[in-house]
Amino acid sequence: MADWNPDQYERFKRERDQPFWDLLALVRGRPGMRVADLGCGPGSLTKALHEKLGAHQTIGFDNSEAMLTRAKALAGGGLDFAHADIARWGQPRTWDVVFSNAALHWVPNHEHLFARLARALTAGGQLAVQVPANFDQPTHVAANWAARELGLSPYEAPVLPPETYATILDELEFGEQHVRLQVYAHHLPSREDIVEWSKGTTLMAWRSQLSEAQWPEFISRYRERLFAMVPDESPLFFPYKRILIWGVLNPAAP
């Protein structure tokens, strides 16, 4: 995958930040915690996570050098950042909280993934995850159409139904859990802003597969398909579905 653009990603910072705060509200702070933030991005929310929980140590992990360069300017006071591929990340029985906001939808096989994340928790540790669930909406349907028109494979999202995550947590011996599907109601100035939103996230699935010459053609096809499905209104109502997942591992869990 091509490297991320922090400026493009943060063009809609207020809208992207709200699910983080809703997820963080589920986490229970206590003194001396070690916290891992998987897919930390530019780091500002990792810093907020560290401070809100009063953690002893928080490490934000990401595989984007551009994101980490920006994040590392925030390090200090028990907060640090490190390069890691979260598709293979795992540090058994190390963390009191494993937190991930809008990152794990890039990682396949969530049944296996959540088992690996559970093994990273200390006894009584907490897992907190937010993943997009908008893959049946115009933002993503139009992207898959544009990809097919250019001979690229569609993006097969690994995100599961909310009830499946609840079942996974139960099978992994999370004694307490909270799983919900939430629709975030955004108002954007125009349809063009959905294109800019998607350029910072969704369309990254194909960016590295396209040359500099092909990328504008892909965006043009995406815009055409998207606009055929989205009304030309200003402001434009832009609903976005997300799944919030939280659980506390049983102290006696293996």
pLDDT tens, position by position, 133-156: 999 999 999 999 999 999 999 999
Which has the closest alpha carbon to 190: 251, 250, 233?
Answer: 233
In a domain, 96, yes or no: yes
Q: What is the distance between the terminal CA atoms of the chain, rounded to a whole angstrom?
A: 35
In a domain, 151, yes or no: no
The pTM score is: 0.93
Q: What CATH code is carried by the domain that includes residue 113?
A: 3.40.50.150
In a domain, 17, yes or no: yes
In a domain, 211, yes or no: no
* Domain extent at residue 65: 6-134+156-189+239-249
Tally of domains in the chain: 1
Q: Please tell me the predicted confidence (pLDDT) of residue 184.
A: 97
Residues 6+ apart with CB under 8 A from 239: 137, 183, 184, 185, 186
Q: Please tell me the predicted confidence (pLDDT) of residue 16.
A: 87
Which of the four pLDDT bands, split at 50, 70 and 90, describes residue 1? very low
Identify the DSSP state of 110.
H
